Amino acid sequence: MKVIFHIIIFLGFSFQLRGQEVIKVKKEPVAKKNSFDEFPEVFTIVDKNAEYPGGMADMYRYMMKNTTLGICGNDFNLRGCVTIFVKFIIDENGKTQDPEILKETGCKDFEQSVVKAILNMPQWSPALFRNKPVKSWFNLPMKIKIQ
Protein backbone atom coordinates (compact mmCIF):
# COMPACT_ATOMS: atom_id res chain seq x y z
CA MET A 1 0.00 0.00 0.00
CA LYS A 2 2.84 2.34 0.88
CA VAL A 3 4.55 1.55 -2.41
CA ILE A 4 1.45 2.47 -4.44
CA PHE A 5 1.06 5.66 -2.46
CA HIS A 6 4.71 6.66 -3.13
CA ILE A 7 4.37 5.87 -6.83
CA ILE A 8 1.26 8.06 -7.11
CA ILE A 9 3.00 10.94 -5.32
CA PHE A 10 6.12 10.53 -7.50
CA LEU A 11 4.04 10.56 -10.71
CA GLY A 12 2.15 13.62 -9.49
CA PHE A 13 5.38 15.57 -8.93
CA SER A 14 6.81 14.50 -12.26
CA PHE A 15 3.70 15.71 -14.11
CA GLN A 16 3.88 19.03 -12.28
CA LEU A 17 7.53 19.50 -13.17
CA ARG A 18 6.91 18.60 -16.77
CA GLY A 19 4.00 21.07 -17.06
CA GLN A 20 6.24 24.04 -16.18
CA GLU A 21 8.03 24.53 -19.45
CA VAL A 22 9.90 27.75 -20.12
CA ILE A 23 8.71 29.60 -23.18
CA LYS A 24 11.17 32.05 -24.69
CA VAL A 25 9.69 35.18 -26.23
CA LYS A 26 11.65 37.17 -28.73
CA LYS A 27 11.55 40.86 -27.83
CA GLU A 28 11.02 43.38 -30.57
CA PRO A 29 13.25 46.46 -30.42
CA VAL A 30 11.27 49.47 -29.18
CA ALA A 31 11.88 52.96 -30.53
CA LYS A 32 13.01 55.23 -27.73
CA LYS A 33 10.53 58.02 -27.04
CA ASN A 34 11.25 61.54 -25.97
CA SER A 35 10.62 61.75 -22.22
CA PHE A 36 7.85 64.35 -22.75
CA ASP A 37 5.91 62.09 -25.17
CA GLU A 38 4.28 60.19 -22.30
CA PHE A 39 3.30 63.33 -20.34
CA PRO A 40 -0.24 64.68 -20.42
CA GLU A 41 -0.98 67.82 -22.39
CA VAL A 42 -2.18 69.64 -19.24
CA PHE A 43 -0.57 68.77 -15.90
CA THR A 44 -2.38 68.37 -12.61
CA ILE A 45 0.70 67.48 -10.57
CA VAL A 46 3.80 69.61 -11.08
CA ASP A 47 7.07 70.31 -9.28
CA LYS A 48 6.23 74.00 -8.86
CA ASN A 49 2.70 75.43 -9.17
CA ALA A 50 1.87 78.40 -11.38
CA GLU A 51 1.92 81.72 -9.51
CA TYR A 52 -0.08 84.90 -9.97
CA PRO A 53 2.15 88.02 -9.95
CA GLY A 54 1.99 89.35 -6.41
CA GLY A 55 0.56 86.16 -4.93
CA MET A 56 -2.91 84.86 -4.15
CA ALA A 57 -4.00 87.95 -2.19
CA ASP A 58 -3.37 90.13 -5.25
CA MET A 59 -5.20 87.64 -7.45
CA TYR A 60 -8.31 87.78 -5.24
CA ARG A 61 -8.10 91.61 -5.23
CA TYR A 62 -7.95 91.53 -9.03
CA MET A 63 -11.00 89.23 -9.18
CA MET A 64 -13.00 91.46 -6.78
CA LYS A 65 -12.13 94.53 -8.82
CA ASN A 66 -12.92 92.96 -12.21
CA THR A 67 -16.10 90.97 -11.53
CA THR A 68 -19.64 92.28 -11.16
CA LEU A 69 -22.88 90.72 -10.07
CA GLY A 70 -24.85 92.50 -12.79
CA ILE A 71 -28.61 92.31 -12.41
CA CYS A 72 -28.24 89.37 -10.00
CA GLY A 73 -27.13 91.74 -7.26
CA ASN A 74 -30.77 92.67 -6.67
CA ASP A 75 -31.98 89.08 -6.77
CA PHE A 76 -33.22 87.95 -3.35
CA ASN A 77 -32.17 84.35 -4.05
CA LEU A 78 -28.50 85.32 -3.92
CA ARG A 79 -28.48 86.89 -0.46
CA GLY A 80 -25.80 85.71 1.93
CA CYS A 81 -22.74 83.83 0.79
CA VAL A 82 -22.32 82.57 -2.79
CA THR A 83 -19.51 80.19 -3.74
CA ILE A 84 -18.28 79.66 -7.27
CA PHE A 85 -15.60 77.21 -8.40
CA VAL A 86 -13.71 77.85 -11.63
CA LYS A 87 -11.09 75.66 -13.29
CA PHE A 88 -8.76 77.05 -15.96
CA ILE A 89 -5.45 76.36 -17.68
CA ILE A 90 -2.27 78.37 -17.30
CA ASP A 91 -0.15 77.68 -20.37
CA GLU A 92 3.66 77.48 -20.72
CA ASN A 93 3.82 81.26 -21.27
CA GLY A 94 1.68 82.10 -18.22
CA LYS A 95 -1.50 83.01 -20.13
CA THR A 96 -4.87 81.87 -18.80
CA GLN A 97 -7.21 79.91 -21.06
CA ASP A 98 -10.26 77.62 -21.16
CA PRO A 99 -12.04 78.70 -17.94
CA GLU A 100 -14.80 76.33 -16.87
CA ILE A 101 -17.38 76.97 -14.14
CA LEU A 102 -17.45 73.84 -11.93
CA LYS A 103 -20.09 75.05 -9.47
CA GLU A 104 -22.64 77.49 -10.83
CA THR A 105 -24.27 80.27 -8.83
CA GLY A 106 -27.45 80.53 -10.88
CA CYS A 107 -26.48 84.02 -12.05
CA LYS A 108 -25.20 83.92 -15.65
CA ASP A 109 -24.12 87.60 -15.56
CA PHE A 110 -21.82 86.97 -12.60
CA GLU A 111 -20.42 83.75 -14.09
CA GLN A 112 -19.67 85.51 -17.41
CA SER A 113 -17.99 88.30 -15.48
CA VAL A 114 -15.75 85.77 -13.69
CA VAL A 115 -14.82 84.05 -16.98
CA LYS A 116 -14.01 87.41 -18.61
CA ALA A 117 -11.84 88.44 -15.64
CA ILE A 118 -9.92 85.14 -15.80
CA LEU A 119 -9.28 85.48 -19.53
CA ASN A 120 -7.99 89.04 -19.03
CA MET A 121 -5.69 88.24 -16.09
CA PRO A 122 -2.09 89.43 -16.25
CA GLN A 123 0.56 86.89 -17.17
CA TRP A 124 1.30 84.28 -14.49
CA SER A 125 4.58 82.52 -13.76
CA PRO A 126 3.90 79.13 -15.38
CA ALA A 127 4.07 75.80 -13.57
CA LEU A 128 7.34 73.88 -13.78
CA PHE A 129 7.85 70.16 -14.29
CA ARG A 130 11.45 68.93 -14.39
CA ASN A 131 12.50 72.60 -14.57
CA LYS A 132 10.52 73.18 -17.79
CA PRO A 133 7.42 75.40 -18.05
CA VAL A 134 4.27 73.34 -18.70
CA LYS A 135 0.51 73.83 -19.03
CA SER A 136 -1.27 73.22 -15.74
CA TRP A 137 -4.76 73.28 -14.28
CA PHE A 138 -5.68 75.84 -11.65
CA ASN A 139 -8.81 75.59 -9.47
CA LEU A 140 -10.14 78.86 -8.12
CA PRO A 141 -12.78 78.86 -5.38
CA MET A 142 -14.43 82.25 -4.78
CA LYS A 143 -16.81 83.18 -1.97
CA ILE A 144 -18.88 86.30 -2.45
CA LYS A 145 -20.80 87.80 0.44
CA ILE A 146 -23.90 89.61 -0.80
CA GLN A 147 -25.69 92.01 1.55
Query: Does residue 120 form part of some domain?
Result: yes
Number of structural domains (the chain) is 1
Digit-coded pLDDT (tens) for 65-114: 998 876 666 654 556 677 889 999 999 999 999 999 998 877 788 889 89
Q: How confident is the model at residue 53 (pLDDT cuts 50, 70, 90)?
A: very high
pTM, rounded to two decimals: 0.67
CATH number of the domain within which 111 lies: 3.30.2420.10
Q: Could you give the angle at which helices 108-119 and 56-66 cross, rounded to 10 degrees?
A: 130
What percent of the chain is modeled with pLDDT above 70? 64
Q: 32 or 60: which carries more pLDDT confidence? A: 60
Dist CA 60 CA 21 (whole Å)? 67
As a whole number, the mean pLDDT across the chain is 77
The range of the structural domain enclosing residue 75 comes to 29-146
Query: Does residue 4 form part of some domain?
Result: no
Cα 111 off chain centre by: 22
pLDDT at 83: 82
Dist CA 141 CA 139 (whole Å)? 7
